[in-house]
Amino acid sequence: MNVAVLGLGAMGTALADALLAAGHRVTVWNRTAARADGLVGRGARRAGSVAEAVAEGDVVIVCILDYADVGVLLEEQAGGGEALRGRVVVNVTNGSPEEARAMAKRVAGLGGAYLDGGIMAVPEMIGRPEAFVLYSGSRAAFATYQGVLDAFARSVYLGEDPGAAPLNDLALLSGMYGMFGGFAHAAALVRSAGGPVEEFTTGLLVPWLRAMCGALPAMAAEIDSGDYGATGSNLAMQVSHDSIGAVSHAQGVSDELFAPVFALMRRRVAGGHGDEGFAGVVEELLRAP
């Protein structure tokens, strides 16, 4: 396949290398031209302009820093008119669902089909089995080019709405930051008592979090059904003492990460849901002012 890659930062370079390794004919362009040198040495073709790269690619991968600049590249530098006619733009630049929907319309205006992508990996993971990439947008384009996209990671198609990939990408990152936040508080508690954080993490925290991950599908089913009655650990019991807050203060550790979660749990109990489990706090979040 002829694939063009626009944007050769850490991620764009990893994507282009994966395409080369899969045997595709790869044309690369980067605003700072010298950043393409390594890839050219490894077999990529250098394009002198965005228009030249786009002309060479049946699939055009765009991987730069923000959507506004993607619009400039495609509308002002790709050759104008119907420069994208017959081509598929796969934009893996991070953005919002609204930006993705607007970009799909702009690409259609230039004659092309559009897929938005959310890369669930760091550059070093590209081409490795634990990585996956979310796609949404043109079903036909995904069906035609999945074989090419599979060079990056496991490809997951989320439907025709171009906004689905960025929404799910951000939801996954929010889950990750929640876990990182929990880790930070746990590590601060252990450190405040002089304990070795590494030993605590590998010996206790990781096995505990793995076990707790097992509870998430049942909680998700409660959220989908709106029936929060099927719990073993009720919320009233969980908020009866703010032990985590109290011990944190006693240890000189800020509870600023945990306090908002505890406040939500208390609000849920105050609303008459003390006999239900944790999953119901999602109802409080859905009522955001």
Footprint of ligand NDP on this chain (CB under 6 A)?
A: 7-12, 30-32, 35, 63-65, 69, 92-94, 119, 122-123
**Nearer residue to ligand NDP within complex by CB, 12 or 112:** 12
**Nearer residue to ligand NDP within complex by CB, 15 or 265:** 15
- Using alpha carbons, select from 131, 47, 108 the residue that is nearest to residue 117: 131
| Segment holding 25, helix H or strand E | strand 25-29
The count of other CB atoms within 10 Å of the CB of residue 23 is 10
Helix axes 97-109, 164-192, angle to 10 degrees: 150
Are 231 and 197 a contacting pair, CB within 8 Å? no
Q: Quote the DSSP letter at residue 129.
A: T
Are 54 and 87 a contacting pair, CB within 8 Å? yes
Distance of closest approach, residue 132 Cβ to ligand NDP, in angstroms:
11
**Nearer residue to ligand NDP within complex by CB, 12 or 163:** 12
**Nearer residue to ligand NDP within complex by CB, 71 or 245:** 71
**Nearer residue to ligand NDP within complex by CB, 11 or 269:** 11
Q: Quote the DSSP letter at residue 168.
A: H
Cβ contacts of residue 149 below 8 Å, gap of 6+?
90, 117, 133, 135, 142, 155
| Segment holding 114, helix H or strand E | strand 113-120
Distance of closest approach, residue 274 Cβ to ligand NDP, in angstroms:
41
Angle at 70 between CA 67 and CA 72, to 5 degrees: 115
Distance of closest approach, residue 161 Cβ to ligand NDP, in angstroms:
20
Q: Quote the DSSP letter at residue 24.
A: -
Amino acid identity for residue 205 in this structure: L
**Nearer residue to ligand NDP within complex by CB, 7 or 127:** 7
Distance of closest approach, residue 4 Cβ to ligand NDP, in angstroms:
14
Distance of closest approach, residue 29 Cβ to ligand NDP, in angstroms:
9
Helix, strand, or coil here: 288?
A: coil
**Nearer residue to ligand NDP within complex by CB, 38 or 123:** 123
Q: Which residue is nearest to ligand NDP (CB)?
A: 9
Distance of closest approach, residue 34 Cβ to ligand NDP, in angstroms:
9
Distance of closest approach, residue 153 Cβ to ligand NDP, in angstroms:
11
